[in-house]
Amino acid sequence: MKPDTLVHMANQIGKFFQYQRKDEVIPGIANHIKQFWDPRMRTAIFAYVDQGGEGLDPLVKEAILDLKEAREHGESSFQGT
């Protein structure tokens, strides 16, 4: 899947969660990506963020970084909303 498609999809998720309580936005985005994105899609967006993550909404980028960090530390059950 092309990076621009993943960026668009991730930003759409962010738009949905922007209306949640402030403390639920980032965990909500991360949890949605973890639950509903194919592992290959997650790997691709992690690589894209590693290259700068141009075009990603700041909160979306933060959620992806949190999810990536949890994966790297072997946390198999990221707890979002």
Q: Is residue 66 part of a domain?
A: yes
- Look up the pTM and report it: 0.87
Proportion of the chain above pLDDT 90, given as a percent: 86
| Residue 1: predicted pLDDT | 87
What DSSP character marks residue 61? H
Yes or no: say if 45 and 57 are a contact pair by the CB < 8 Å rule: no
The verdict on residue 80 lying in a domain is no
Is 17 within the bounds of a domain? yes
Q: How many CB atoms lie within 10 A of CB 19?
A: 8
Residue 33 resides in a domain: yes
pLDDT digits 0-9 by tens, 25-39: 999 999 999 999 999
Tell me: the pLDDT tens digits for 50-64? 999 999 999 999 999
| Residue 58 falls inside a structural domain | yes
Q: Is residue 77 part of a domain?
A: no
pLDDT of residue 76: 57
The kind and range of the H/E element at 31 are helix 22-36
Task: Give pLDDT, residue 81.
Answer: 45
CB neighbour list of residue 30: distance below 8 Å, 6 or more residues apart? 63, 64, 66, 67, 70, 78, 80
Residue 11 lies inside a defined structural domain of this protein: yes
Query: What is the count of structural domains for the chain?
Result: 1
Query: Is 63 a member of any domain?
Result: yes
| Range(s) of the domain holding residue 12 | 3-72
